[in-house]
C-alpha cells in the first residue's frame, strides 16, 4: 500500500507568525502602552473582531481604499453580512452608542489593542493581519484633547527608545467650510484629469480630498500645487487648529504643517496628524501613528451629536523600526533561574519545587523532559541565566538542592526551605559586583 502523502500548510498570504524570539518586543510594547494609556486616564475596551459590514460602509466611506479594495467580507448562514474589522474607530463608536456611554462623564477616554485585517498587497511594514493600539476621546471638543492624544503617542515611542520623530499635522476643516475647499479642488483638477490615475478620476466626483492622499507619483506631483485647505478654514476651525498648535508648542513637540495631509478615511474633521520616523517623513507608508478629530461620526452612526478625537499606532511598524535602529527589546523576567534535575525521584519533586519558587517571585526555566544534566545546563547557558539549580537523587532524599553560579561554576548545597532566601542573597551580591 503506497504511503500517504500529507500536504504541508502555510500561513495565509500577507499574514505572519509572531514567534517566541519576537515576543520580547511585543511584551515591552504591551506593557508600555497599557501603563501609559491608564496613566493618562484611558480605560481599556475590547470590541468584536467582526462587525456589521454596513458599519464600515457608512463610517469609513464607500470611496475609500479600505471599503473598495481591502475589506474581508463574509455572509453568515443566517444571511448577515459581516466584516473583519479593518480599523478600530467605527467599532468603538458603535460600542459607545450601543452601551449608553453618553450617560458617563464626558469625554469618555478609551484605549484598545488587537488585530485588524485589510486585504492589500503585502509589503514591508504592511500586513493583511496587523495589530494596532488606539486611543479615543469621545465627548470632548477641546483642542487640548487633540494635543494630548498626539503627545501620548509621541511619549510612547520615546519611552521605547525611538528618537528623531517628526509630527505632520493639518486641519481639513468641518462641514461648514469644507464644501468651499472641495469646490476649489474640483476646479483645480478639472483640466488635469488626464494626468490622474483611474482611481483619482473616479474619486474627483465623490471625495476630491482623497486625491491629496493618493500614492501614485503623478497624482502626488499634482497634489503639491493644489489649493491648500488652511486657506479655506472657517473661523472656528482656524481657532481650533491654532490652539492645538499652541499646545504642541508648549509641549515642545517637533511638528510641521503639511497642508496636503488628509488621511484616508471619510469621517475625519478638523485636526489630522501623523507621527513618522525622521528618515521616513517623505515616505507615505512610514507613519507609525496617525489619527485626528471625528466630530460627526457618533451622530452619523445613530447617536447624539458628539465631538471626538483619536488615533492609532501600528505595532508591527514600530517593531520593525526598533530592529532597524538596533533598539533592544526587554529580556525575560527578572530573577530568572534554570532548574535541572537528575533521576526519577528528582523529576517527580521538580514541579512542586518550581511552583514554590514561582510564588516566591522567581521565573524558572526548565527542560524536565531531558534526563542528561549536561544537555540541561547547555540550555541554561543559552538563556544566559546567572544561576542554575540542580536536584539529584541524593539531594531529593535529603530535601536539599545545589545552586550553581553559571559564571564561575561554583556550587553550593542548600536546604530547600532556605532556597528562596539564598537565591535572593546571591542575586543581590551579583548586582553589586
What's the pLDDT score for residue 116? 96
- Banded model confidence at residue 215, pLDDT cuts 50, 70, 90: confident
Average pLDDT, integer, range 38-61: 93
What class, spelled out in words, does domain 20-177+233-324 have in CATH? alpha beta
Note the pTM of the prediction, 2 decimals.
0.87
Average pLDDT, integer, range 85-96: 96
Average pLDDT, integer, range 164-191: 91
- Banded model confidence at residue 262, pLDDT cuts 50, 70, 90: confident
What is the CATH T-level fold of the domain 336-432, as seen in this structure?
Rossmann fold (3.40.50)
- pLDDT tens-digit readout, 12-21: 998 999 998 8
Q: What angle do CA 128, 132, 136 make, to 5 degrees?
A: 135
Mean pLDDT of the chain: 91
What's the pLDDT score for residue 431? 75
Q: In 3D, which of 282, 280, 289, 287 has the Cα closest to residue 311?
A: 289
What's the pLDDT score for residue 244? 97
- pLDDT tens-digit readout, 338-356: 999 999 999 999 999 999 9
Domain range list for the chain: 20-177+233-324, 336-432
What's the pLDDT score for residue 81? 95
Specify the higher pLDDT residue, 430 or 242: 242
Average pLDDT, integer, range 85-102: 96
What distances in angstroms separate CA 308 from CA 136, 295, 304, 405, 412, one per listed residue? Answer: 7, 5, 12, 57, 62
C-alpha–C-alpha distance, residues 289 and 325, integer Å = 18
Exposed / middle / buried, residue 49 (Cβ in 10 Å: 0-12, 13-18, 19+): middle
Average pLDDT, integer, range 160-165: 94
Residue linked to cell 501603563? 35
Task: Please determine, for residue 332, whether its predicted confidence score (pLDDT) is greater than 60.
Answer: no
What's the pLDDT score for residue 334? 62
- Banded model confidence at residue 280, pLDDT cuts 50, 70, 90: low
Average pLDDT, integer, range 74-101: 96
What's the pLDDT score for residue 120? 80
Question: What Rg do the C-alpha atoms of the chain give, in angstroms?
Answer: 28
| 190-197, Cβ contacts within 8 angstroms, sequence gap of 24 or more | 192/222, 195/219, 195/222, 196/222
What's the pLDDT score for residue 282? 47
Listed range (230-244, 278-292, 298-312) with the worst mean pLDDT: 278-292
What distances in angstroms separate CA 195 from CA 201, 217, 221, 428, one per listed residue? Answer: 9, 10, 10, 69
Q: Residue 270: which H helix or E strand, with range?
A: strand 269-277
- Asked, as a colleague might, if the bond just before 107 is cis with ω within 30 of 0, I would say yes
Amino acid at each position: 500500500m503506497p504511503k500517504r502523502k500529507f500536504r504541508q500548510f502555510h500561513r495565509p498570504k500577507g499574514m505572519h507568525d509572531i514567534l517566541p524570539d519576537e515576543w520580547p518586543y511585543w511584551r515591552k510594547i504591551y506593557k508600555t502602552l497599557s501603563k501609559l494609556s491608564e496613566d493618562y486616564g484611558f480605560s481599556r475596551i475590547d470590541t468584536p473582531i467582526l462587525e456589521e459590514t454596513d458599519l464600515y460602509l457608512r463610517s469609513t466611506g464607500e470611496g475609500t481604499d479600505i471599503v473598495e479594495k481591502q475589506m474581508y467580507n463574509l455572509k453568515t448562514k443566517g444571511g448577515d453580512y459581516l466584516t473583519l474589522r479593518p480599523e478600530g474607530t467605527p467599532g468603538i463608536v458603535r460600542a459607545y452608542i450601543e452601551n449608553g456611554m453618553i450617560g458617563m462623564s464626558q469625554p469618555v477616554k478609551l484605549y484598545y489593542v488587537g488585530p485588524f485585517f485589510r486585504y492589500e498587497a503585502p509589503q514591508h511594514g504592511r500586513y493583511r493581519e496587523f495589530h494596532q493600539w488606539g486611543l479615543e476621546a469621545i465627548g470632548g471638543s477641546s483642542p487640548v484633547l487633540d494635543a494630548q492624544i498626539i503627545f501620548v503617542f509621541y511619549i510612547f515611542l520615546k519611552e521605547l527608545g525611538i528618537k528623531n520623530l517628526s509630527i505632520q499635522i493639518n486641519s481639513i476643516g468641518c462641514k461648514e467650510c469644507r464644501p468651499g475647499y472641495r469646490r476649489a479642488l474640483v476646479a483645480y483638477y478639472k483640466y488635469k484629469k488626464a494626468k490622474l490615475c483611474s482611481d483619482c478620476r473616479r474619486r474627483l466626483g465623490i471625495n476630491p480630498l482623497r486625491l491629496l492622499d493618493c500614492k501614485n507619483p503623478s497624482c502626488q506631483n499634482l497634489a503639491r500645487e493644489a489649493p491648500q485647505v488652511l486657506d479655506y478654514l472657517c473661523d472656528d476651525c482656524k481657532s481650533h487648529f491654532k490652539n492645538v498648535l499652541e499646545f504642541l508648542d508648549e509641549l515642545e513637540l517637533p511638528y510641521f504643517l503639511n497642508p496636503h495631509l488628509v488621511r484616508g478615511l471619510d469621517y475625519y474633521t478638523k485636526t489630522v496628524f501623523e507621527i513618522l520616523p525622521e528618515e521616513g517623513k517623505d515616505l507615505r507608508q512610514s507613519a507609525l501613528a496617525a489619527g485626528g478629530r471625528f466630530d460627526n461620526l457618533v451622530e452619523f452612526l445613530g447617536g447624539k451629536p458628539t465631538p471626538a478625537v483619536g488615533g492609532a499606532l501600528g505595532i508591527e511598524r514600530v517593531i520593525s523600526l526598533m530592529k532597524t535602529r538596533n533598539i533592544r527589546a526587554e529580556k525575560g523576567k527578572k530573577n530568572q533561574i534554570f532548574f535541572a534535575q537528575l533521576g526519577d525521584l528528582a523529576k517527580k519533586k521538580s514541579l512542586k519545587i518550581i511552583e514554590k519558587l514561582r510564588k516566591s517571585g522567581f521565573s524558572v526555566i526548565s527542560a524536565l523532559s531531558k534526563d542528561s544534566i549536561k544537555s540541561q545546563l547547555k540550555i541554561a547557558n543559552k538563556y544566559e541565566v546567572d544561576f542554575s539549580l540542580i536536584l539529584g537523587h541524593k539531594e531529593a532524599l535529603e530535601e536539599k538542592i545545589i545552586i550553581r553560579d553559571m559564571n564561575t561554576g561554583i556550587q553550593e548545597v542548600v536546604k530547600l526551605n532556605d532556597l528562596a532566601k539564598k537565591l535572593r542573597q546571591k542575586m543581590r551580591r551579583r548586582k553589586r559586583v
